[in-house]
Amino acid sequence: MTDTILSNITDIEGEEMETVTPTDYNIHLFHEGNLFDAHRLFGAHVYRDDSETFTAFCVWAPNAKQVKVVGSFNNWRGTNYEMTRVNAEGIWRIEIPLDLTNHLYKYEITTNHHEVKLKTDPYTFYTEKRPNTAGIVYSLNDFEWTDEDWLASREACNLYQSPMSIYELHLGTWKKEEKELIGYREMADLVVPHVLEHGFTHIELLPVTEHPFDRSWGYQGTGYFAPTSRYGTPQDFKYFVNECHRHGIGVILDWVPGHFCKDAHGLYQFDGRHIYEYEKELDRENYTWGTANFNLGRGEVQSFLISNARFWMEVYHIDGFRVDAVANIIYWANQGNQGVNEGGIAFLKKLNRAVFEYEPSALMIAEDSTDWPQVTSPVHYGGLGFNYKWNMGWMNDVLTYLETEPDERKHVHSLITFSLLYAFSENFILPFSHDEVVHGKKSLLNKMPGDYWQKFAQLRLLLAFMYGHPGKKLLFMGTELAPFSEWKDLEQLDWHLLDYDMHHKFNTYSKELLKLYKDTKALFELDHRSDGFEWIDVNNVSQQIFSFIRKSESPEDFVVIICNFSPQVYYQYKVGVPKASYYVELLNTDRGSYGGSNQVNEEQLKVKNRGYHGKPCYVEMTIPPYAAVILQPFHH
């Protein structure tokens, strides 16, 4: 933590706060890249000193000739509102002897080339609703949190040995009213019961940082310290998080520290020069997305971004971050995997150290498509310092396998097995995210080959395989409805599908699968240890059946999982199993109540004490078509 200097200054609610007056020390830390509460120094802050109330504005603009603050309090004219340059490195500040709470403001920056720019404060806590872009002077103090129990349980929880099933959510398209966006408060009251009913443990929000364009989904941001005003106020967003926490649901933010939007009011060419982004065009320009890459080697940018992460945890009680596009931070954006960005790697290590120093129970999840080693190893062991990483390789391999016609799957058998060669090299999350169901990629259901019935059967099988495979889980919103259409990012989810029999049955299945997952320690307790997984039969290429064991800490607490990726039914099929008196079905994805053909094993499966599949005994059972069966042992 950076040293803080307390004074008798109080904010307008009368609470003691850290001084907003720059000191030589915190200015030094800022330029060095080590001021991790920079939002206390920069931005707009209203405070009382003795009997007088002031609003202080502070901004970093090293190449500006002049900076004025303009807004609704001075008719957007900066005469007599010139800011004072505090130091040679370009910090500007002004104190105005007024309470400007709820006033609009921007910075009027005159560049070295005498161009005048109107810029939104990079540290503003709240902005006008799009398409307007001014910052709003805003206090973040008047909200009463009631999530103490959640915060205490979070501290006590062992993340790695707990179930984690994440619901990835885009607030703008989950549900709409008359095609209008629903606000944070109403969304909380709708989403929380849905997430609880379906058994998810966390919500992951697509970026809520302020952004100009709805269809960027928040990934091209302009206001990193401002929850988007599309859905309401900062206090409304606190209500959303608080309601999640009160009901035992964690909240993860999608967060984009690699690149940002180039709109004129934002960070790009902030003072006429490239101060937040790299100066060199090849390093700066992210041609794929039309954005600018943050200059992660610059101290002031490091202070900005690391402060931002800690700000969301401190002010909004966020439980962690899914860090977007880590590949574009590890490697230079326009050099592929040829050019390692040492500054980017140093930034990621510094970020993760600072986050875990502030909150040891945080989730820091890398969305990383590379094979860079030790992404989820601590920095002091030579790693990047994340504690989770999306397993993009598993996702791509499994979807490629399932999109292959069944009679051709024998040729791509290893796509299912390959992930177990590296499954324990990192702490993985298995993701079926929004990225897999947009831009013509089709929905998960519609990726499955075959007829109507076969598509549903294979989607049930896919999710059962996912929840049986080592690693925590993430599903994009709407997966529980089994939509035929891919994500339509201007419309709400296809809620009407629940009126149709097969979709309703799939929805029932998804709830029961997640309940079983959370109730079965063998499915999550040893996710990140190789002794939690054991193949039974990995070589059945002709029948396309994979069987394996998942284990918990307790030797007698395990499950046997059999996945049949063919359309055939197999009767009296032998499966080698560990010793037990008998086995029973915990789950059969072919149950009639799920929309299946009801090829189930209702009776206890008696163990035959002869070796098979390298195991001391076996059971004989019915293997349903396109289905997974989970067996639980019983011992006398």
Residues recognised as catalytic: 324, 367
Other Cβ atoms within 10 Å of 470 Cβ, number: 23
- Let me know: does 203 contact 169? Beta carbons within 8 Å: yes
The owner of tokens 């720059």 is: 22
- Let me know: does 205 contact 254? Beta carbons within 8 Å: yes
CA distance 46 to 53: 7
DSSP state of 242: H
CA distance 256 to 254: 7
DSSP state of 59: E
Reduce the DSSP state of residue 64 to 3 states and report it.
Answer: strand
What phi, psi does 73 have (nearest 5°)? -90, -10
Per-residue burial over 8-35, b if 16 or more Cβ lie within 10 Å, else e, is ebebbeeeebbbbbbeeebbebbbebbb
Tokens of 486: 């891919």
- Taken in order 56, 58, 64, 70, is the CA torsion positive or negative? negative
CA distance 508 to 517: 14
- Let me know: does 215 contact 202? Beta carbons within 8 Å: no
Reduce the DSSP state of residue 333 to 3 states and report it.
Answer: coil
DSSP state of 393: H
Query: Of 388, 563, 555, which is closest to residue 466 (Cα–Cα)?
Result: 563
Name the region of 276 (left: φ>0; alpha: ψ -120 to 50; beta: rest).
alpha
**If you count them, how many residues does the chain have?**
636
- Let me know: does 172 contact 221? Beta carbons within 8 Å: no
Strands (DSSP E) found in 19-63: 43-49, 52-60
Tokens of 568: 């055939």
Residues 6+ apart with CB under 8 A from 312: 253, 255, 318, 321
- Looking from the CA of 554 toward its CB, the CA atoms found within 13 Å total 9
CA distance 634 to 456: 31
Other Cβ atoms within 10 Å of 177 Cβ, number: 10
CA distance 411 to 612: 25
